[in-house]
Amino acid sequence: MSLDDLNTPLAGPKAKGRLTLPFSASHVLAGVLGLFLIVFAVRAVTVEDPLGGEPVATASIPARSAAKSEDASAKEVLSGNDGPGQAANDSAAPAAGGRTVTIIDGSSGKRQEVVIPGSAERTIGGGVDERLLEDTHHGRIPKVVTTGVRPVDAYARSAGPAQAAPDGPRIAVVVGGLGISASTTADALSHLPAAVTLAFAPYGANLGELAARARKRGHEVLLQVPMEPFDYPDNDPGPRTLLTTLPSEQNLDRLHWQMARFQGYVGVMNYMGARFTTSEKALAPVLADVAKRGLLFVDDGSSSRSLASHIAGASSTPFVKAEEVLDAVPTPASIDRALARLETAARKQGFAVGVASALPVSIDRIVRWAKDAAARGVTLVPVTAAALKSRSS
């Protein structure tokens, strides 16, 4: 026994060395990632899939028939039937590729969801003349035919019954905000007289179909263009609103997007826009483009500071301004008083224009008033008749 054994009699056998691997966990992770990248690179080179595995669907696009010669009369395809149209469906699904946005009224806090189609509707119905359309990256928008026919002329309706007194008081009523609510739009189409002009917002689904149905029933149609109010963005008219802070090119691009939502309208009308219509720099290019495309501009009369009348005169834009916002206070009594004031104005100056929103109470009071208007010697006419009257005056 050695001296060392005597000095450490109680020591156990020496522990064996711990097994160690030649690489760490980080090396393993790096190896797995490297292998994944190699597999991905090999697949990218050998598999022909430029979409990177995204799901695809194949759709057939039928060729459109060639447009008629521009020398033919633009009116021959515009006489729609006055037969009843199919009621709008509240449960209609959004168009494919569309998206839903929420519009918040800054004054009331009311929220409303609307569907914006993914692309302009291509179906042409209700007697829309394709020669009056120009292709753009947003879709098809109005234009003037080389023969000089304008959309405001081609889509205008009769100015009133033949038996109406030529010098009697005439009134044009515009009901706006249509196309967003299917039930409200159906109510307006079912009850309002054909001489009432209907204005559609650019955010609803199936706008082309609804506008065509309105025109078949004898209504003139307007496009409402969202414009900047004073309390924007707390009070937001909706996506692609025309703004005083944007360059004219961008506002015109937004305007053309609005114009491409549907076709067959005689003109455009502001939606809100109290600030925008006070800026000559912002509004002048818009009205010039409206005139260039052969359209009417209707000022809804909601802002006393609007410069639209002055600018329209300078740019020779067909123009109408409303004297009365009929449902500024949306109660039956207030609407009735506004209609009475409108009638008084028409008797005094020969013509008057009123606008209203597509509220159930507004539709009801307008329908009641219109039933007895003829008996009082008042003729209800479409809004283009007011433009013709203004031009002749």
pTM for this prediction: 0.71
The angle subtended at Cα 174 by Cα 168 and Cα 180, nearest 5°, is 165
Inform me whether the pLDDT recorded for 4 exceeds 90: no
> 150-392 has which fold?
TIM Barrel (3.20.20)
Q: Which sequence spans correspond to the domains of the chain?
A: 150-392
- Integer Cα distance of 310 and 367 in angstroms: 33
Number of H helices, E strands in the chain: 11, 13
Average pLDDT over residues 70-86: 39
pLDDT in tens, 287-329: 999 999 999 999 999 999 999 999 999 989 999 999 999 999 9
Would you state the pLDDT for residue 101?
52
Would you state the pLDDT for residue 113?
59
Inform me whether the pLDDT recorded for 93 exceeds 50: no
pLDDT in tens, 207-228: 999 999 999 999 999 999 999 9
> Quick one: pLDDT band at residue 35, thresholds 50, 70, 90?
confident
Non-local CB neighbours of 331 within 8 Å, separated by 6+ positions:
361
Inform me whether the pLDDT recorded for 192 exceeds 80: yes
Would you state the pLDDT for residue 118?
47
Average pLDDT over residues 248-270: 98
Share of the chain above pLDDT 90, in %: 62
- Integer Cα distance of 140 and 137 in angstroms: 8
Average pLDDT of the chain to the nearest whole number: 80
More confidently predicted of 142 and 47: 142
User: What residues does 178 pair with on adjacent strands?
Assistant: 200
Would you state the pLDDT for residue 71?
40
Non-local CB neighbours of 87 within 8 Å, separated by 6+ positions:
186, 189, 190
- Integer Cα distance of 269 and 272 in angstroms: 10
Would you state the pLDDT for residue 344?
98
Distance of CA 27 to the CA centre of its chain: 58
Would you state the pLDDT for residue 45?
52
CB atoms within 10 A of CB 98: 15
